[in-house]
């Protein structure tokens, strides 16, 4: 899904592509549309990849590990959307609105961020620069599309099955649905929420919670930042939402925070209303609202929504490529 969003963005943003070579797993015949043409997407070919100036990797950690370092060592720019290299100290983890300065002409392998972490990284960055965030507490409400196409299909199948059974009991009580089939997700997702995104470690943290904490520290260059995350999967198609509590090194007035957020790149502050994933789906910026005081003068609370397939993945990768292009590090076709 991210790959198709990426192709649409390259076309819509008029990125200068002389020749596009799409690839797939090769397990079945795959075609993609680009600039009015249908292109076949065969299995990955290392030789063809090595002839490219720029490679977007929107695949698994195994594929990234197998091809990414070799391509970069051969002079190819590689922007990887998997989690394989995000915490590698030699590989920049880049969100252009936050840390484009991490890009380096001599390091051509670049990691894209976790789609959940991106929202708080962009929304919290202007505030962190102004008053140094010491602690971040997050409750994330993550869309099903973040788990991939199979999870989304499962969500739709479960929703149809539940809708067919949705009748009131004779005594007027709401129905209790039986557990629908599940394969891609650990629990039924239609009409449900569950606090697990990824597998659990021995301490009881799930994978997404660990990733968000570690990646936020790297992107903000804040090794001592305390981050606590509860990751929740919700029955939403696209758009991750975050409830965030930021604790600063000194008192920080909400009025000052609003002034900073109004002019922050890649961010849209909503004051008369608040963002929702349904309303913000398909839109580029990170949206924030409900900015308010916390338990004391050093804490602020805010609500953040961003499209996980766009700014959380495909758009961020294209923005990195555009930055490299502006630097003159890519030859224009």
Tokens of 101: 């300065």
The tokens of 223 are what?
């090794």
> Any catalytic annotation for residue 51?
no
Tokens 């009991």 belong to residue: 169
Helix ranges restricted to H, 86-205 = 96-99, 115-131, 149-165
Q: For residue 124, count other CB atoms closer than 10 A to its CB.
A: 26
Name the catalytic one among 205, 206, 240, 301: 240
Distance separating alpha carbons of residues 310 and 228, to the nearest angstrom: 25
- The token pair at 261 is 């957020």
Tokens 């880049």 -> residue = 94
Active site residue 240: yes
- Euclidean distance between CA atoms 261 and 97, whole angstroms: 13
Cα separation, 202 vs 59, whole angstroms: 27
Beta bridge partners of 227: 136
Distances (CA, A) of 303 to 56, 251, 262: 31, 20, 15
Q: How would you label 131-146 residue by residue, b for 16+ Cβ within 10 Å and e otherwise?
A: bebbebbbebbbbbbb
Task: Give dist(CA 312, CA 170) in Å, integer.
Answer: 46
Q: How far is CA 301 from CA 132, 136, 186, 196, 288, in A?
A: 15, 10, 30, 23, 11
The catalytic residues are: 115, 240
């Amino acid at each position: 899904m991210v790959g198709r969003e990426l192709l649409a963005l390259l076309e819509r943003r008029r990125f200068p592509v002389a020749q596009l070579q799409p690839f797939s797993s090769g397990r079945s015949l795959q075609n993609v549309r680009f600039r009015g043409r249908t292109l076949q997407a065969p299995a990955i070919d290392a030789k063809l990849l090595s002839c490219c100036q720029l490679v977007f990797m929107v695949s698994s950690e195994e594929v990234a590990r197998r091809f990414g370092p070799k391509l970069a060592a051969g002079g190819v720019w590689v922007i990887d959307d998997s989690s394989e290299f995000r915490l590698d100290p030699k590989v920049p983890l880049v969100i252009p609105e936050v840390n484009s300065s991490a890009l380096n002409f001599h390091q051509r392998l670049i990691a894209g961020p976790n789609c959940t972490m991106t929202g708080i990284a962009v929304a919290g960055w202007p505030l962190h620069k102004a008053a140094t965030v010491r602690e971040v507490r997050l409750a994330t409400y993550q869309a099903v599309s973040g788990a991939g196409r199979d999870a989304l299909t499962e969500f739709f199948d479960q929703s149809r099955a539940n809708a067919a059974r949705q009748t009131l009991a004779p005594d007027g009580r709401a129905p209790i649905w039986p557990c629908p089939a599940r394969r891609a997700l650990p629990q039924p997702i239609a009409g449900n929420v569950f606090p697990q995104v990824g597998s659990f470690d021995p301490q009881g943290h799930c994978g997404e919670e660990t990733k968000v904490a570690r990646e936020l520290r790297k992107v903000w260059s804040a090794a001592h930042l305390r981050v606590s995350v509860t990751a929740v999967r919700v029955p939403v198609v696209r758009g991750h939402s975050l409830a965030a509590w930021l604790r600063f090194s000194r008192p920080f007035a909400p009025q000052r925070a609003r002034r900073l957020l109004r002019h922050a790149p890649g961010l849209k502050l909503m004051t008369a209303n608040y963002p929702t994933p349904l309303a913000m789906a398909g839109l580029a910026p990170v949206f924030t609202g409900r900015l308010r005081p916390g338990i004391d003068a050093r804490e602020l609370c805010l609500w953040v929504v961003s499209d996980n397939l766009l700014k959380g993945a495909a758009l961020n990768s294209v923005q990195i490529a555009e930055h490299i292009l502006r630097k003159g590090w890519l030859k224009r076709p």
